[in-house]
Amino acid sequence: MSVQKCPICSAAVEPSARYWDYICIDCSARAVDEFGRKLRFRNESFSGGFVAWYEDTNERRDSQICYIDGVKCWADEARMGGIVIRVYGGKE
């Protein structure tokens, strides 16, 4: 199987045919909004969905756009549950 790397830091990540460009866990932890406010993501419920919120106030954020080390990214619900963050590719 081929080696897959995080597009932000180049760390080796578990290979994924579906998410060939996903961000590693360490980089994901540095996700912020356009003003530098720390963000967190999770599934909305056991059955899925997507929720983003500000770490400092627990206020919900109505956008899936985030930035990691200045790189524009897109956070979303992963197909089989959980959250996946990828470099932004023009979705919205």
Residue 13 lies in a domain: yes
In three-state form (DSSP H/G/I as H, E/B as E, the rest C), the secondary structure along the chain is CCCEECCCCCCEECCCCCCCCECCHHHHCCCECCCCCEEEEECCECCECCEEEECCCCCEECCCEEEECCEEEEEEECCCCCEEEEECCCCC
Residue 92 lies in a domain: no
Number of folded domains that form the chain: 1
> Which residue range forms the structural domain that includes residue 15?
4-87
Residue 12 lies in a domain: yes
The model's pLDDT over 21-79, given as tens digits with 9 standing for 90+, comes to: 999 999 999 999 999 999 999 988 776 689 999 999 999 999 999 999 999 999 999 98
Residue 66 lies in a domain: yes
Q: What is the pTM of this model?
A: 0.88
Give the number of other CB atoms < 10 A from CB of residue 26: 13
